[in-house]
Amino acid sequence: MFVGPLLQLRVFAWQVQTRDLVILVDETITDYHREGLAAAGWKIHTIQRIRNPKAERDSYNEWNYSKFRLWQLTDYDKIIFIDADMLILRNIDFLFEMPEISATGNNATLFNSGVMVVEPSNCTFQLLMDHINEIESYNGGDQGYLNEIFTWWHRIPKHMNFLKHFWEGDEEEKKQMKTRLFGADPPILYVLHYLGNKPWICFRDYDCNWNVDILQEFASDVAHKTWWKVHDAMPENLHKYCLLRSKQKAALEWDRRQAEKANYTDGHWKIKIKDKRLETCYENFCFWESMLWHWGEKNWTENATVTPSPPAVTATSVSL
Ligand SMILES: [Mn+2]
């Protein structure tokens, strides 16, 4: 849905150059952003998406079975797969010594499919495809499906895929401990997994998860800053691939207004945005304020409680 997360991976590209860096992209990724990925050192591998037959049309998980394509990368004996919303903070090459599937625990006996050691095999790919119509994924995503197939897996420490998330039951001490880990310099975590809204689709001024009720459990200004530090350390020529779309600017301002109306006590909605990306535009349509005029008029408010951000604006309003 957002191109930003994919671009974030470029950070990894210039930090670690001892291995091939392969990125799987589908036809929704623009040439502009492919160019950015290539400039950062990624080998671009275009894939045909795989539809989850049990997913609803246009839902966030409709295409996430595309991840099965990993098993077709048989030019490689082994792959460390990393989701696009991760920040690699330390060298993780030692994972290449681990077998398929090595992953971190998610809950109970299940693994999180955001970081996985995978051994490509056409046979395994076929196995995954063969049961696509029958296997029920507990969370509707690839994680649930893969956990049904790989019931035996190797547990690696949480620091290899550390979730940026404060559980409802987390005590204050636990929250402080997590926050220390999110901000540690030099880093302690190997991989930080940004749940909720990603920092690259927020303004740099603060974590925009604060402005959405159901996303506040993912809000951490410290983790947010950690991403921006890495962003600023990237070669300058890559920054132009991290700009915000007009639609996204409108979405952020919309959320901020909702937070203001609800008078959220954290008060982040009061912060004046200084991020220069607010004024910078790389699309044909730059008048993002006009998108707000009609925002929320459509029937999206009916399910506002389950929809974290407003629906896409129509093509007609984009081409004004
Ligand atoms: Mn993720």
Query: 78 alpha carbon to ligand 1 midpoint, in Å?
Result: 21
For 12-21, 149-158, 233-242, which range has the lowest pLDDT when averaged over its residues? Answer: 12-21
Give the mean model confidence (pLDDT) for residues 75-91: 95
Question: For the chain, which residues make up each domain, given as ranges?
Answer: 4-157, 164-318
pLDDT at position 169: 85
For 11-25, 113-127, 197-211, 241-255, which range has the lowest pLDDT when averaged over its residues? Answer: 11-25
For residue 45, what are the β-bridge partners? 24
Whether residue 317 has pLDDT greater than 50: no
Which of the listed CATH numbers 3.30.930.10, 3.40.50.300, 3.30.310.160, 3.90.550.10 matches domain 4-157?
A: 3.90.550.10
Query: 59 alpha carbon to ligand 1 midpoint, in Å?
Result: 16
Query: 181 alpha carbon to ligand 1 midpoint, in Å?
Result: 18
pLDDT at position 17: 59
Query: 9 alpha carbon to ligand 1 midpoint, in Å?
Result: 13
Give the mean model confidence (pLDDT) for residues 255-279: 97
Query: 319 alpha carbon to ligand 1 midpoint, in Å?
Result: 32
d(CA 255, CA 260) in angstroms, rounded, equals 9
Residue % of the chain over a pLDDT of 70: 87
Q: Minimal CA–CA distance to 130: which of 71, 89, 209?
A: 71
The count of residues in the chain is: 320
- Which residues neighbour 318 within 8 Å (Cβ) at sequence distance 6 or greater? 246, 247, 285, 291
Q: Minimal CA–CA distance to 24: which of 60, 58, 72, 62?
A: 72
- Coil, strand or helix at 216: helix
Query: 287 alpha carbon to ligand 1 midpoint, in Å?
Result: 31
Query: 109 alpha carbon to ligand 1 midpoint, in Å?
Result: 19
Query: 118 alpha carbon to ligand 1 midpoint, in Å?
Result: 17
Q: What is the pLDDT of residues 124-183, one digit of tens each?
A: 999 999 999 999 999 999 999 999 999 999 999 999 999 999 988 889 999 999 999 999
Whether residue 73 has pLDDT greater than 80: yes
d(CA 40, CA 63) in angstroms, rounded, equals 26
The H or E element that residue 79 is part of is strand 79-82
Query: 82 alpha carbon to ligand 1 midpoint, in Å?
Result: 9
pLDDT band at residue 52, thresholds of 50, 70 and 90?
very high
pLDDT at position 320: 31
pLDDT band at residue 7, thresholds of 50, 70 and 90?
very low
pLDDT band at residue 224, thresholds of 50, 70 and 90?
very high
pTM metric for this prediction: 0.85
pLDDT band at residue 304, thresholds of 50, 70 and 90?
very low
Query: 166 alpha carbon to ligand 1 midpoint, in Å?
Result: 15
CB atoms within 10 A of CB 171: 9
Burial of 220 (0-12, 13-18, 19+ CB in 10 A): buried
- All residues with CB under 5 Å from ion ligand 1: 83, 85
Query: 320 alpha carbon to ligand 1 midpoint, in Å?
Result: 34
Give the mean model confidence (pLDDT) for residues 261-289: 95
Query: 173 alpha carbon to ligand 1 midpoint, in Å?
Result: 25
d(CA 15, CA 64) in angstroms, rounded, equals 27
Encoded amino acid at 163, one letter: L
Whether residue 6 has pLDDT greater than 70: no
Give the mean model confidence (pLDDT) for residues 220-227: 98
pLDDT band at residue 295, thresholds of 50, 70 and 90?
confident
Query: 223 alpha carbon to ligand 1 midpoint, in Å?
Result: 15
Query: 188 alpha carbon to ligand 1 midpoint, in Å?
Result: 20
The H or E element that residue 163 is part of is strand 162-163
Contact in structure between 209 and 85 (CB atoms under 8 Å) = no
pLDDT band at residue 298, thresholds of 50, 70 and 90?
low
Query: 248 alpha carbon to ligand 1 midpoint, in Å?
Result: 19
Query: 114 alpha carbon to ligand 1 midpoint, in Å?
Result: 6
